[in-house]
Amino acid sequence: MQSAKKAIDLCRDLADKLAKRLPAGAAGLNTVRQAFDAGGWPMIFFSHNGNEAEGQPVVLIRIKNVDMVSKDVFGNSTFAYAPHTLELAYELASSGDSLPAHADLITVEFEAIKTGVRLQLKEIANGTAVSEAAINAASAIADLDELYWPTKLV
């Protein structure tokens, strides 16, 4: 059983905040587009003038629930209502640096971290457009979670 309501609400709130922080007409990331992946999880694309092609500065955020590692009565995977995982991805330039400007990238990361959910940072190889397929194939270079979550044995 899947409930994406909380993930959708988090994504909508994050998109609204970043639409204010990344003003339209600016030189860097200035366009916010919301979408859903094939599994029904919400995604946000941040781009320059809506251009999400390969080689363009694009940041993708996807928020998903955590698999509870248990099955429902029909044998389907079940997902916890919370906590969530926030995946943040961007394409690398041929130099190995990020294509989005550092100021834009840190602005997106700043708002993403404040959501209080697990953050996975994913870098997409140069020459690959930032997309659902690319974020699925990428490995997390940073996987950050709260150290002192009340239900953890830390």
DSSP-based three-state secondary structure for 56:
coil
On average, the pLDDT of the chain sits at 86
**Nearest partner of 139 among 126, 151, 117, 123, judged by Cα:** 123
- Report pLDDT for 82: 63
- Average of per-residue pLDDT across 98-113: 92
> What's the pLDDT score for residue 59?
96
Q: Which position has the higher pLDDT, 10 or 83?
A: 10
**Which pLDDT tens digit goes with each residue over 57-75?**
999 999 988 766 667 778 7
CA distance 73 to 84: 23
| Strand bridging mode 118-124 / 140-144 | antiparallel
Tell me how far apart the alpha carbons of residues 36 and 63 are, in angstroms, rounded to a whole number: 10
Length of the chain: 154
* pLDDT at residue 97 in the model: 87
Unique residue bearing structure tokens 């639409």: 19
Q: What is the count of structural domains for the chain?
A: 1
Please tell me the chain's helix, strand, coil percentages from 3-state DSSP, rounded to the nearest 5: 25, 35, 40
Among 105, 65, 100, smallest CA distance to 86 is for: 65
Distance CA 12, CA 43 (A): 9
Region 72-94: what's the mean pLDDT?
Answer: 80
> Taking the CA atoms of the chain, what radius of gyration do you get in angstroms?
16
In a domain, 151, yes or no: no
For the chain, give the longest Cα–Cα distance.
52
Containing structural domain, residue 68: 5-144
The pLDDT value given to residue 153: 45
Pick from 27-36, 75-84, 130-139 the range whose average pLDDT is largest: 130-139
Answer whether residue 149 is part of any domain.
no
- 82 C-beta neighbours (distance < 10 Å), count: 13
Is 140 a residue whose pLDDT tops 90?
A: yes
- 152 assigned to some structural domain: no
pLDDT at 145 exceeding the cut of 50: yes
- C-alpha 26/C-alpha 35 separation (Å) is 22
